[in-house]
Amino acid sequence: MYDIIVVGGGPAGLTAAIYAARAGKRTLVLEKESIGGQIVNSPLVENYPALPHISGAELANSMYEQVCALNVEVGSEEVTGLSAIPGGYAVATDIGGYEGRAVVLATGVRHRQLGLPGEDELVGSGISYCAVCDGAFYEGRDVAVVGGGDTALQDALFLSNICRKVTVLVRRDRFRGEAKLAEKLRERANVEILFGHTVEAFETRDGLLCGLTVKNAENALRSLAVDGLFLAVGQEPAGAAFANLADTDAAGYFAAGEGGETKTPGVFVAGDCRAKKVRQLTTAVGDGAAAALGVCDWLDAL
């Protein structure tokens, strides 16, 4: 039986594992997708202390190597359930199961969709959530980015280096992201920014995206020809499978204190899945440290 099982291998989960291992706890991290979470897809991280210029992939790899050096076990599995057993919890995955005395839920968030007809079918056929992953497929072509936050700004900047034209569609009348990123984007000659615009429908040809029907602030519709659409319209919590273990807010985020403790003894939460105002790389790392210290104190007091 492990001392601590961490569900999620993003910055919060990996930080929790580092602190747990350094406290002498036998620790397992389970991640269903890429180790490092969504930060892996960030082409450039410029707001992490002491590392002014680093890619998300490089940062995630460094965290992973640090975890492995501390003899933390890492499994590439999707956790499907969690149930109480004598002395701890049984953690079920898509290929097996494990037992742990305590659990840290660092399940993060997932990409929010536009909710338009045909969206699921077009993912991979013109619609993407990751500019770094899929941008190369649209080299020299026209694409659109939907969103006004930091992710949208970073995606548009990245795509402007390889695409012929990038159209940024922002629902509001201004960007929500960092002013510095917005300033850089406005300097790009091949970027057009359309504030007050929303996507109303997808236009397809032979099963592939070929354009968008967009609406402006005056409700006028027009067609926008693009080969690719990159969505950066926010995120939603990815911890629905564990909602019975911790209280959640109206949006589904886990309600927990700074120490990550939940209503279920031995179950802690950390990272973007926790109800809080700010969700940044640095706050995820802070959450991971606090949750690990909290769970170690809880275990030591048993």
For 107-167, the DSSP string reads --EEEPP---TTHHHHBTTTEES-HHHHGGGGTTSEEEEE--SHHHHHHHHHHHTTSSEEE
**Which residues make Cβ contacts (< 8 Å) with residue 241, sequence separation at least 6?**
79, 80, 81, 82
What per-residue confidence (pLDDT) applies to 104? 98
Residue 243 has phi, psi (to 5 degrees) of -65, -20
Neighbours of 17 (CB within 10 A): 32
The residues annotated with a catalytic role in the active site are 130, 133-134
Question: For residue 132, what pLDDT is reported?
Answer: 81
The model's pTM is 0.77
The CA-CA-CA angle for residues 133, 126, 279, to 5°, reads 50
Look at residue 40 in the predicted model and tell me its pLDDT: 85
Q: How big is the chain, counted in residues? A: 302
Per-residue confidence (pLDDT) for residue 234, from 0 to 100: 83
What pLDDT is recorded for position 196? 97
CB atoms within 10 A of CB 75: 17
Query: What's residue 258's pLDDT?
Result: 87
Report the pLDDT value the prediction gives residue 45, as an integer from 0 to 100.
84
Those residues of the chain that have pLDDT short of 70 are: none
